[in-house]
Amino acid sequence: MTEARGAPAAGSGPGAAVALLQAVSDPVRWSVLDVLAGGPACVCTIQEQVPVAANLLSYHLRALREAGLVTASRRGRWVDYRLADDAAERMRRALPGAVAGTDAAHLGAGRRLEVSVP
């Protein structure tokens, strides 16, 4: 039996945008999102690629679920995570200027954001 879980999409406005950006600003969460950008993964696979304590990984996965950026589905004793369908679009819209209709060129289209994880 499969059970999908995830937070409802967050509201709109500056407060929601700031909350979303705060959720992805943590290097561990960014690494989890990077892993899930490659496709759905179980916790054990994420743990292999994001080497943090299991309880800390659980905490960060919960924060990403609550932000509505990832969803979880249970397969027996396993839990699989995947990016929410609208995660990339919501992160893009959260950037300053995106809500006000600023064009992508002004936001640095074509540049890749890189984050280093200690």
pLDDT of 33-89, one tens digit each?
Answer: 999 999 999 999 999 999 999 999 999 999 999 999 999 999 899 999 999 999 999
Report all structural domains of the chain as residue ranges with CATH numbers, in order of start. 2-94 (1.10.10.10)
Q: Which residue has the tokens 């992805």?
A: 24
Q: pTM for this one?
A: 0.71
Q: Which residue has the tokens 């640095």?
A: 108
Q: Which residue has the tokens 């979303």?
A: 20
CB 35 within 8 A of CB 41: yes
